[in-house]
Amino acid sequence: MSSSVVPVAVVGAAGRMGATTCAAVEEADGLELVARIDAGDDVGAAVRDSGALVAVDFTVPAVTEANVHAILDAGAHAVVGTTGWDEASRSRVVEHLDRLNAGREDGLGVLIAPNFGLSAVLAMTFAAKAARYFESAEVVELHHPNKVDAPSGTARHTAAAIAAARADAGLAPSPDATESGWEARGADVDGVRVHAVRLRGLVAHEEILFGNVGEQLTIRQDSFDRASFMPGVLLAVREVVGRPGLTVGLEHVLDLT
């Protein structure tokens, strides 16, 4: 292995995204797959023993935070695609990074991206830009029926960005006469309604709907194949090494903010 080759471990390697990531890393120039880690393995020990510089986590919401702490304690950078992160779990990772990186110039990095697909990252960026101009905004995410979390991490990230843009612009809540007790208005993410569809045949899709009197803007993205996430995953693996601390969202790496 030449010194410029980055050794990469994949956590959740037996899963849909983990297996696709292992194949992509094996094909990629300048990266070497050094560990396939899955449930039942000691993540920290496996990362340390493999000599991985970067570990990619595609597991399940219930374990991803613990995996990241284990990866950091093993001395590796982390790229995280698993969803289910909230403000509290991100804060604990920042505290951990601050402790580990104190006094170091080449500190460890964690890059969490709810979606590595270019179409999804662009859709989220466009939605955040459009949000201030519309009275109403809602998000619909559509996924394969094996997905365990709802709404999707992408939809939560999208809705949070829309909510922040609406707040900055001083917009009132989206108009909605639905009385309490009715059941079909979706999840409330920072005041933005998010709806989740689970349908055999789908992979990962999102529609962002904006409305004004007499007009509508729809932003839609479709991932038809998990291959669509791989350029973003590989970019994140290469970038995280030079990005100490926590980065949330591939839009920062793509310079879209």
Ligand X SMILES: NC(=O)C1=CN([C@@H]2O[C@H](COP(=O)(O)OP(=O)(O)OC[C@H]3O[C@@H](n4cnc5c(N)ncnc54)[C@H](O)[C@@H]3O)[C@@H](O)[C@H]2O)C=CC1
- Bind-site residues for NADP(+): 36
Residue 200 in tokens: 């055999």
If we measure between CA atoms, which residue out of 161, 68, 176, 84 comes closest to residue 123? 161
Which listed residue (69, 96, 129, 147) is catalytic? 147
Is 147 tagged catalytic?
yes
* DSSP secondary structure code for residue 226 in this structure: G
Q: Nearest distance from residue 39's CB to ligand X, in Å?
A: 4
Which of 7, 15, 44, 249 binds ligand X (CB under 6 A)? It is: 15
Work out which of 7, 18, 151, 186 binds ligand X, going by CB under 6 A.
18
- Minimum CB distance to ligand LZUJQKHR smaller for 25 or for 124: 124
Residue nearest to ligand X (CB): 15
Greatest CA separation for the chain: 64
Known catalytic membership, residue 129: no
Report the DSSP pairing between strands 77-80 and 54-57. parallel
Dump the DSSP string for 120-185: HHHHHHHHHHHGGG-SEEEEEEEE-TT--SSS-HHHHHHHHHHHHHHHHTTPPPPP--PPTT---S
Set 96, 143, 157, 205: catalytic member: 143
Check residue 151 for interaction with ligand X (CB under 6 A). no
Binding site for ligand X (CB under 6 A): 11-12, 14-18, 37-39, 43, 58-61, 63, 67, 81-83, 113-117, 153, 229
Task: Indicate which residues carry an active-site annotation.
Answer: 143, 147
